[in-house]
Amino acid sequence: MTIQKCPFFNLCGGCKYDFTDDNYRENKLKELPKIDFTDNAIWGKSGIRRRADFAFVDGHFGFYKKHSKDIVDINKCINLVDEINEVLPKIAKLPWVGSGSVLITKCENGIDIVVNSNVPYFNNDFKLAVEKLPAQIIRFTWNDKIVRKYVEPEIKFNDKIIKYPINAFLQPTIDTEQILRDLVVKYVDGAKKVADLFCGLGNFTFATNATGFDIVGNGIGRDLFKKPLTAKNLEQYDVVIMDPPRAGAEKQSKELSKSNVTRIIYVSCNPTTFMRDSAILQHGGYKMSVAIGVDQFVGTAHWEIFSVFDK
């Protein structure tokens, strides 16, 4: 089957590489850091992204142009799931005022839309337009204020159903989320005491019966940027899972480097901060035993890195 080429490629700034190009994999591999990857890269599929961050400026809705704050008007993205593309034209036609971002997520039970804007309120015309949107849009919020809600959005990790909070982190596709979860379970390898740091909603937590830690989500409420688990706190754990945001986990890595945890599983969405934190762990006596690149942000320059450090 021929994959459809994107009509917005080289205009829209969403993708750096044409994922329909024969040289796509060769070109994207150049974005990986210069480390000894222990396995072949895992390649994601196009057309299955369940979430995307759009923008609006001066009544225009879409993605930013490359190297610009101007908007490419978009009412369909071939990298997104059909359920989002079905409602996108109506969302694009809303009476947008001011500027901001629009995070659209396909949940288990419908579409969730979150607007973050420099305009602190929505006017009555906008509210009336939102109320006319299709019923599959189950929640619509503007700066955390509910514009419309039919039911609470839900997501699922294997058979675990979770309420989906406003602005919560979620892997971009169900396929790569499962791939990462399976890798984590494989390398946890039945350990009895597991800590899941930056656990979010619990993608790895439930599957490994771990103790989760995060500011929000389903773990123990702890800001690991300001108050990382200390080497002494970590003594009780056999394995630590760590999946921080793009800023990485510098302070937490320094504590881990002083610990006696035998295995650290580090999942990173930012090769730059991964390399920094990796150096900290290796300086503390850890050896990187596994490193795999996962192309879950298809078309972009971004890689997910799955890694294992043993001591």
Q: Where are the alpha helices (DSSP H) in 58-169?
A: 82-92, 124-131
What amino acid occupies position 62?
Answer: G
Q: Indicate the pTM of the whole model.
A: 0.93
Mean pLDDT of 157-186: 95
Residue 226 has pLDDT above 90, yes or no: yes
Residue 1 has pLDDT above 50, yes or no: no
What amino acid occupies position 70?
Answer: D
Based on the number of CB atoms within 10 Å of its own CB, is 148 exposed (0-12), middle (13-18) or buried (19 or more)? middle
Bridge partners, 137 (sequence order): 111
Mean pLDDT estimate for the chain: 95
149-157: Cβ within 8 A, 24+ apart: 150/110, 151/109, 151/110, 153/105, 153/107, 153/108, 153/109, 153/110, 153/112, 154/107, 154/108, 154/109, 155/107, 155/108, 155/201, 156/108, 157/181, 157/201, 157/202, 157/203, 157/206, 157/207
Determine the Cα–Cα distance for residues 287 and 241; give it in Å rounded to an integer.
16
Residue 270: C-alpha distances to residues 11, 101, 200, 257 (Å): 24, 22, 17, 20
Where are the chain's structural domains? 1-46+173-311, 51-155
Rg (the chain; Cα; Å):
20
Determine the Cα–Cα distance for residues 137 and 60; give it in Å rounded to an integer.
21
For the chain, percent of residues with pLDDT exceeding 70: 99
Mean pLDDT of 55-71: 92
Determine the Cα–Cα distance for residues 53 and 32; give it in Å rounded to an integer.
24
pLDDT tens, residue by residue, 96-121: 999 999 999 999 999 999 999 999 98
Mean pLDDT of 180-186: 98
The third-level CATH classification (topology) of the domain covering 51-155 is OB fold (Dihydrolipoamide Acetyltransferase, E2P) (2.40.50)
Mean pLDDT of 269-298: 96
**Which range has the worst mean pLDDT, 8-17, 96-105, 189-198, 274-283?**
8-17
pLDDT at 215: 87
Name the CA dihedral angle for 250, 252, 255, 257, rounded to a multiple of 10 degrees.
Answer: -60
Q: Which two tokens stand for residue 74?
A: 């978009």
Determine the Cα–Cα distance for residues 80 and 269; give it in Å rounded to an integer.
20
Residue 2: how many other CB atoms lie within 10 Å: 5
pLDDT at 3: 64
Query: How far from chain centre, in Å, is Cα 168?
Result: 9
Residue 55 has pLDDT above 80, yes or no: yes
- The CATH architecture one would assign to domain 1-46+173-311 is 3-Layer(aba) Sandwich (3.40)
pLDDT tens, residue by residue, 242-265: 999 999 999 999 999 999 999 999
182 Cβ partners below 8 Å, 6+ apart? Answer: none
Determine the Cα–Cα distance for residues 128 and 210; give it in Å rounded to an integer.
45
pLDDT at 2: 52
